[in-house]
Every structure is written in C-alpha cells, then in structure tokens.
Amino acid sequence: MVDRLFLPLSKRWYDLFVSGQKTWELRGLSRQYNEKTVRLGRSVEIRSGYKNGAKFGKIDSYVIAKSWDDFPQNVKTGIFPEFMREDENAVKFLES
C-alpha cells in the first residue's frame, strides 16, 4: 500500500497548483491532517475530481500556526497568490 496523503481540491485551487501560482496548502488540524500524517518526505496526491488527473509531490516543509497572522509571508503568498487578495471569498476566509 502506498503511504500517500490525499488532498482533494476544487478545480480553481487545483489549477493554481498545476500552474505553479499556488505552492502551499492550508488545512485545519484534524484526524486526517495532523503532526503524525503531515510529515517531511511523505508523498502527496492532489486531485480535483477524477477527470483532471492527479498531480503528485512530496512534503518538503510545513508550518503549524494558530492564526493567519502566525504564518510567514512566503507561506501566505504560497497559499493565496497575490492576485487572489482581491477575491471576495479569499478575503472572507482570511478574516474568519
């Protein structure tokens, strides 16, 4: 069995990863995403449905933060590319 972390994404976020505009993923701590499951070197599969095909990678770094303000700027930019800062839904997410 392959030890791979699965990250389902909406088409919008998936396309940003594929284009290289998005380089980080933000997930809340949960049973599936925690300090035991998210570890350096672990394989990752990102997918938007089954039609778009999967993209694979490896975790080369991660950050655990209690709030948006605790993330380093390079991580913030990797999660939400600069052009998305004008997106109403992204702004609402950041404010929540």
pLDDT-based confidence at 69, cuts 50/70/90? confident
Q: Which residue has the higher pLDDT, 91 or 25?
A: 25
Mean pLDDT of 69-90: 77
Q: Are 46 and 14 in contact (CB under 8 A)?
A: yes
pTM across the whole model: 0.74
| Three-class secondary structure of residue 4 per DSSP | strand
Q: Which residue has the higher pLDDT, 44 or 74?
A: 44
pLDDT-based confidence at 93, cuts 50/70/90? low
Do the strands 54-58 and 43-47 form a parallel or antiparallel pair, or are they unpaired?
antiparallel
Whether 61 shows a pLDDT value over 70: the answer reads: yes
Whether 96 shows a pLDDT value over 60: the answer reads: no
